[in-house]
């Protein structure tokens, strides 16, 4: 059974889906560990959640592009005597343009944040969850991990596909230990993501029915991990896209991906 007030660690908690997770979990009686680079935003969010829900929110600023950050975060938790019941690996971003358009350190930082950091945090926090017989791990992946790769943002879909497979294996290994693992796979979500990548004007041309708000995505994710669902694609439209992608022959799927990439990917 979880603690009276479970403790949830959320990466990328300063905005978007991460902040929505913080709001929803606080409303459900969780205390929080908020992790991101922007200390001012984390502190403002922590104060708001304490006033609204009585949640105790610990602010731990960190740059997950630093390979030492996951270990330092867990060390800081241990020093404060905090045990994590929920881990939400949400931190992420996109690198616009083609693969050769960015220097290697840019890609190295991306891989550290989207692959290494969530994997290491799960590895460091999972033993305590298993020992206590309760835990929840949500890896925020993407519909992009289920469909053919696109030109531009070259590593994004690949990293999300990794999180999906990783979550499936981790879920199978821990389902008899009271630990549920879920790869949450939203499609286009209203957030700062596309502003940061500079693709807001492009994706803004997509029809509104393809979009979800972050709060809806988060509620679906929480319900899915509680059910023990290893992978959850949010929204009927996104689930239909996933199903069509699986049924479409590879050559046709790649042709469609190449055509559609121009609508929402920066290719220079």
Arithmetic mean of pLDDT, 41-63: 97
The Cα 6–Cα 10 span in angstroms is: 13
The Cα 127–Cα 130 span in angstroms is: 5
Instruction: Give the pLDDT confidence score for residue 244 in this predicted structure.
Output: 87
**At 200, is the secondary structure helix, strand, or coil?**
helix
Instruction: Give the pLDDT confidence score for residue 268 in this predicted structure.
Output: 61
Angle among Cα 260, 263, 265 to the nearest 5 degrees reads 95
| Pairing of β 7-11 and β 211-213 | unpaired
74-100 in b/e form (b: 16+ CB < 10 A) is beebeeeebebbbbbbbbbebbbbeee
Mean pLDDT of the residues in the chain: 90
The Cα 165–Cα 158 span in angstroms is: 11
Contact in structure between 189 and 217 (CB atoms under 8 Å): yes
Helix (H) or strand (E) holding 165: helix 156-174
DSSP assignment letter at 116: I
Catalytic residue among 134, 156, 162, 264: 156
- Look up 156 and say whether it is catalytic: yes
Instruction: Give the pLDDT confidence score for residue 210 in this predicted structure.
Output: 64
pLDDT at 13 over 60: yes
Q: What is the pTM of this model?
A: 0.89
Query: How many C-alpha atoms does 214 have within 13 Å on its Cβ side?
Result: 18
Q: Which distant-in-sequence residues (6+ apart) come within 8 Å of 194 by Cβ?
A: 200, 202, 203, 204
Contact in structure between 27 and 53 (CB atoms under 8 Å): yes
Angle among Cα 15, 19, 20 to the nearest 5 degrees reads 125
Instruction: Give the pLDDT confidence score for residue 200 in this predicted structure.
Output: 46
Convert the pLDDT of each residue in 166-216 to its tens digit.
999 999 999 999 999 999 999 888 665 544 544 545 555 565 656 689 999
Instruction: Give the pLDDT confidence score for residue 82 in this predicted structure.
Output: 97
Q: Which domains does the chain have, with CATH numbers?
A: 7-264 (3.40.50.720)
């Amino acid at each position: 059974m979880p603690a009276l007030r479970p403790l949830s660690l959320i990466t990328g908690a300063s905005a978007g889906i991460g902040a929505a997770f913080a709001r929803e979990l606080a409303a459900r009686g969780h205390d929080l560990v908020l992790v991101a680079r922007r200390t001012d935003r984390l502190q403002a969010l922590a104060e708001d959640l304490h006033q609204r829900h009585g949640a105790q929110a610990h602010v731990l600023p960190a740059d997950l592009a630093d390979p030492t950050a996951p270990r330092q975060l867990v060390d800081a938790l241990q020093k404060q005597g905090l045990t994590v019941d929920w881990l939400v690996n949400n931190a992420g971003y996109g690198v616009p343009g083609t693969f050769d358009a960015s220097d290697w350190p840019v890609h190295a930082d991306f891989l550290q944040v989207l692959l290494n950091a969530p994997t290491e945090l799960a590895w460091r926090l999972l033993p305590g969850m298993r020992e206590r017989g309760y835990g929840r791990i949500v890896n925020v992946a993407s519909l992009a991990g289920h469909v053919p790769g696109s030109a531009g943002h070259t590593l994004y879909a690949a990293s999300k596909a990794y999180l999906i497979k990783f979550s499936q294996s981790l879920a199978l290994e821990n389902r008899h230990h009271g630990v549920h693992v879920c790869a949450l796979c939203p499609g286009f979500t209203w957030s700062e993501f596309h502003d940061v990548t500079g693709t807001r004007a492009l994706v803004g041309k997509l029809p509104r029915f393809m979009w979800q708000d972050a709060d809806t995505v988060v509620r679906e994710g929480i319900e899915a991990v509680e059910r023990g669902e290893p992978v959850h694609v949010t929204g009927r439209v996104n689930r239909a896209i996933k199903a069509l992608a699986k049924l479409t022959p590879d050559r046709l799927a790649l042709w469609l991906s190449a055509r559609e990439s121009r609508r929402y990917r920066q290719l220079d």
